[in-house]
């Protein structure tokens, strides 16, 4: 199981990292809204590796049969490996490539609020909220924990769907031929 989890988790992690490295340093040109769309699209593509990894485990290790629970565990392990790569890449980018990310994001959020017609009080409250969040982000452990939570829901969704699709103790075809 370890080899499959590492192989597919690292492939997914490399995809996540490549997408982040290709977009985050150019957020000024891309824009935060488009960047978020590109980022989550990259996550969806990367987490397709959960399906392929669980299928590989089922076909090559589990003799073509896998239960929902085991499929879920394999998929979750792949998700954790990929998410760890995502976190490591973000730490590098945040601290080395774009150390002014917090300031740029604050400017973007305030400008977006202004354009939407928010009141001065609402803008000030939002600016304070972002400043507090960015202060938390300065703590590396909090930064890691928060960043880990970004791809996790996408990976968890793919894990659940994959386990539901592939997680059967016995395929229908083998049951029908046995009858």
Measured CA distances, 131 to 119, 168, 174 (Å):
18, 48, 59
DSSP H helices in 138-178: 140-148, 152-166, 172-178
* Alpha carbons 81 and 62: distance in angstroms, whole number: 21
- For the cut 50, the answer to whether the pLDDT of residue 52 exceeds it is yes
Residue 169, pLDDT score: 60
Q: Which residue has the higher pLDDT, 179 or 110?
A: 110
| Entry pTM | 0.84
The string of pLDDT tens digits covering residues 135-176 is 888 899 999 999 999 999 999 999 999 999 998 765 455 444
Per-residue b or e along 153-162, where b marks 16 or more CB atoms closer than 10 Å to that residue's CB:
ebbbebbbeb
Largest CA distance in the chain: 72
């Amino acid at each position: 199981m370890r080899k499959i989890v590492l192989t597919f988790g690292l492939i997914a992690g490399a995809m996540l990292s490549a997408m982040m490295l290709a977009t985050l340093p150019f957020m000024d040109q891309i824009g935060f809204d488009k960047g978020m769309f590109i980022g989550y699209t990259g996550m969806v593509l990367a987490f397709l590796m959960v399906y392929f990894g669980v299928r590989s485990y089922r076909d090559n290790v589990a003799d073509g049969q896998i239960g929902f629970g085991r499929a879920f565990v394999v998929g979750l392990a792949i998700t954790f490996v990929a998410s760890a790569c995502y976190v490591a890449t973000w730490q590098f980018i945040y601290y080395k490539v774009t150390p002014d990310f917090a300031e740029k994001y604050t400017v973007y959020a305030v400008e977006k609020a202004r354009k939407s017609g928010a009141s001065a009080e609402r803008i000030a409250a939002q600016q304070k909220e972002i400043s507090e969040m960015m202060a938390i982000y300065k703590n590396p452990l909090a930064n890691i924990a928060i960043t880990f939570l970004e791809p996790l829901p996408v990976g968890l969704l793919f894990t659940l769907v994959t386990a539901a699709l592939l997680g059967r103790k016995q395929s229908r075809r083998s049951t029908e031929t046995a009858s």
